């Protein structure tokens, strides 16, 4: 067996056997497959696609290119994955809420990608929080706390780490087959029993159209279930930011306000509860998604989720009093600037991707690999679609490191938000459920 024969088989529509998939994934991990061969393979998959059986085989081969975690815990091992958006901080609410309901949650998360924020970047806005832990520490943390949100170790799906970088420079990022295998190889390597997926659709999502979002959701659900992990997906809206903030420390602040009951963003709450309800039902901890949603709401309302989040933060090196003193513990930007409405009307449309890019250019994301992130910058008090406004009223607050950055962000934000005299129809939070 060799790389050229495997590539030619996919190129010519002859398919990808499980043995070929394993050989190629192992070659990616070991370096026996060259960058040129990896790029050719990715393009062959991009052009010809994989069958459902082949996609399951390729995903499992990518998973098995490194370590696969095994657990001996009192509850089911459950996780959630989002395809990424703006103000999408549900993971920080959901992991402790699931743990408070009896699930065990080893949430292996990622950093910001393009215009979207990363869960690890948000958590690192908390002083001392460590995202990089050993497998042994991850086992201990999940056993003691119930959840741990951390980064993937180097031996989790190393074939994906290699192919991911090559896809980025070979024009094959958009392949649903490759996206599916990339997401699921890492999640399945965590040894999950159940997985809930949050597939975003709209202006701030990677999948802009309902058709593309549904295709990805069905691919993910079918492949994960085919690989033996009980999985469902919700397609949720990203035509506007989910939270009213976008930026690392600002989103953590909004999460903490929600966990402690100080101020609740209803959209953020509702999506978290819906995802959690589905996850508990998949894991066998609830009779159905409705019962699961009730359990998640109780965990949030009672403060049990906040208490679990605080223990997780302390166990991962953060302040032991974070839940009690989070406003003092999070960094804040020196320059605040309000973007105001130029006319009376309603917030009619938001280019969420443009807002995401504004956060990145403020320093809240990476323009190049290795860039350092400023955790304090971003946007807050983002008015939602349908909100009535008057000329001169603030519609977004910019948090910047200096006045020059604030002015550049103002121009982008002003152009990204359209005000209309006519009241618009508000987009639904949850578009579809895929099971």
CA 214 to chain centre: 17
Choose the catalytic residue: 22, 55, 63, 80: 80
Q: What is the pLDDT of residue 420?
A: 97
Look up residue 387 and give its two tokens: 């909100």
CA distance linking residue 252 with residue 261, whole number of Å: 14
Choose the catalytic residue: 115, 122, 187, 431: 187
Choose the catalytic residue: 186, 311, 399, 431: 186
* Mean predicted confidence (pLDDT) in 246-259: 97
Which strands, in side-by-side order, build the sheet including 194-201?
78-82, 194-201, 230-237, 430-434
Look up residue 248 and give its two tokens: 């690392």
Look up residue 420 and give its two tokens: 């209309």
Confidence of residue 84 (pLDDT cuts 50, 70, 90): confident
Choose the catalytic residue: 20, 59, 65, 82: 82
Look up residue 251 and give its two tokens: 């989103």
Q: pLDDT tens across 212-231, in order?
A: 999 999 999 999 999 999 99
Choose the catalytic residue: 115, 167, 230, 329: 167
CA distance linking residue 28 with residue 65, whole number of Å: 8
Which strands, in side-by-side order, build the sheet including 378-380?
335-340, 394-400, 378-380
| Strand 194-201 versus strand 230-237 pairing type | parallel
Q: What is the pLDDT of residue 293?
A: 98
Residues in the chain, total: 435
Name the residue with higher pLDDT: 146 or 368.
146
Residues 6+ apart with CB under 8 A from 135: 67, 69, 153, 155
Q: What is the pLDDT of residue 111?
A: 76
Task: Inform me whether the pLDDT recorded for 253 exceeds 80.
Answer: yes
Q: pLDDT tens across 137-189, in order?
A: 999 999 999 999 999 888 899 999 899 888 877 888 789 999 999 999 999 99
Q: What is the pLDDT of residue 280?
A: 98
Task: Inform me whether the pLDDT recorded for 341 exceeds 70.
Answer: yes
79 is catalytic: yes
Residues 6+ apart with CB under 8 A from 122: 89, 92, 248, 249, 251, 252
Choose the catalytic residue: 63, 81, 162, 311: 81
Task: Inform me whether the pLDDT recorded for 403 exceeds 70.
Answer: yes
418 is catalytic: no
212 is catalytic: no
182 is catalytic: yes
In the DSSP assignment, the letter for residue 153 is P
* Mean predicted confidence (pLDDT) in 384-395: 97
Question: Whose structure tokens read 């999640």?
Answer: 187
Confidence of residue 369 (pLDDT cuts 50, 70, 90): low
* Mean predicted confidence (pLDDT) in 75-97: 95
180 is catalytic: no
CA distance linking residue 199 with residue 224, whole number of Å: 14
Choose the catalytic residue: 116, 182, 244, 352: 182
* Mean predicted confidence (pLDDT) in 72-89: 94
Q: pLDDT tens across 262-316, in order?
A: 999 999 999 999 999 999 999 999 999 999 999 999 999 999 999 999 999 999 9
Look up residue 183 and give its two tokens: 């997401």
Q: CA separation (Å) from 237 to 75, 241, 335, 417? A: 31, 9, 31, 17
CA distance linking residue 77 with residue 272, whole number of Å: 18
Residues 6+ apart with CB under 8 A from 158: 28, 29, 65, 66
187 is catalytic: yes
162 is catalytic: no
Q: pLDDT tens across 188-217, in order?
A: 999 999 999 999 999 989 899 999 999 999
357 is catalytic: no
Look up residue 114 and give its two tokens: 């393009």
80 is catalytic: yes
Q: pLDDT tens across 97-141, in order?
A: 999 999 999 998 877 767 877 899 999 999 999 999 999 999 999
Residues 6+ apart with CB under 8 A from 29: 65, 66, 158, 159, 162
Average model confidence (pLDDT) for the chain?
95
Residues 6+ apart with CB under 8 A from 229: 187, 188, 192, 193, 194, 195
Domains plus CATH for the chain?
3-49 (no CATH), 78-325 (3.40.1030.10), 335-420 (3.90.1170.30)
Task: Inform me whether the pLDDT recorded for 372 exceeds 90.
Answer: no
Choose the catalytic residue: 109, 119, 172, 352: 119
């Amino acid at each position: 067996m060799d790389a050229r024969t495997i590539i030619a088989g996919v190129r010519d529509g002859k398919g990808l056997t499980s043995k070929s998939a394993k050989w190629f994934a192992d070659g990616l991990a070991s370096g026996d497959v060259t960058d040129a061969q990896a790029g050719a393979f990715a393009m062959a998959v991009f052009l010809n696609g994989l069958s459902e059986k082949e996609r399951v085989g390729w995903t499992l081969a990518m998973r098995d290119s490194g370590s696969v975690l095994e657990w001996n815990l009192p509850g089911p091992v459950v996780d959630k994955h989002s395809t990424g958006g703006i103000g999408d901080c549900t993971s920080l609410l959901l992991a402790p809420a699931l743990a408070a309901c009896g699930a065990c949650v080893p949430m292996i998360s990622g950093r910001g990608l393009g215009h979207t924020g990363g869960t690890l970047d948000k958590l690192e806005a908390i002083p001392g929080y460590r995202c990089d832990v050993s497998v042994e520490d991850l086992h201990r943390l999940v056993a003691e706390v119930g959840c741990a949100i951390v980064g993937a170790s180097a031996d989790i799906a190393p074939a994906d780490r290699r192919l991911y970088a090559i896809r980025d420079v070979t024009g094959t990022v958009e392949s649903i087959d490759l996206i599916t295998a990339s997401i699921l190889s890492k999640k399945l390597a965590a040894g999950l029993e159940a997985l809930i997926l949050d597939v975003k659709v709209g202006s701030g999502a990677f999948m802009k159209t309902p058709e593309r979002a549904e295709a990805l959701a069905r691919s993910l659900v079918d492949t994960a279930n085919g690989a033996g992990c009980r999985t469902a997906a919700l397609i949720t809206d990203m035509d506007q930011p989910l939270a009213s903030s976008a930026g690392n420390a600002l989103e953590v602040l909004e999460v903490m306000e929600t966990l402690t009951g100080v101020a609740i963003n209803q959209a953020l709450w509702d999506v978290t509860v819906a995802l959690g309800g589905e996850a508990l039902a998949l894991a066998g901890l609830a009779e159905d998604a409705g019962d699961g949603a009730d359990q998640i709401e109780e965990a949030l309302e009672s403060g049990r989720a906040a208490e679990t989040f605080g223990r997780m933060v302390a166990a991962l090196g953060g302040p032991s009093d974070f839940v009690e003193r989070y406003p003092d513990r999070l960094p804040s930007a020196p320059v605040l600037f309000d973007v105001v409405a130029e006319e009376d009307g309603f917030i009619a449309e938001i280019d969420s991707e443009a807002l995401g890019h504004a956060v990145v250019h403020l320093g809240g994301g990476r323009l190049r690999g290795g860039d350092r992130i400023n955790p304090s910058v971003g946007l807050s008090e983002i008015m939602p679609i349908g909100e009535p406004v008057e000329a001169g009223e603030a519609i977004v607050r910019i948090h910047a490191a200096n006045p020059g950055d604030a002015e550049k962000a103002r121009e982008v934000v002003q152009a990204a938000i359209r005000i209309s005299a006519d009241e618009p129809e508000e987009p639904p939070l949850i578009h579809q459920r895929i099971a």
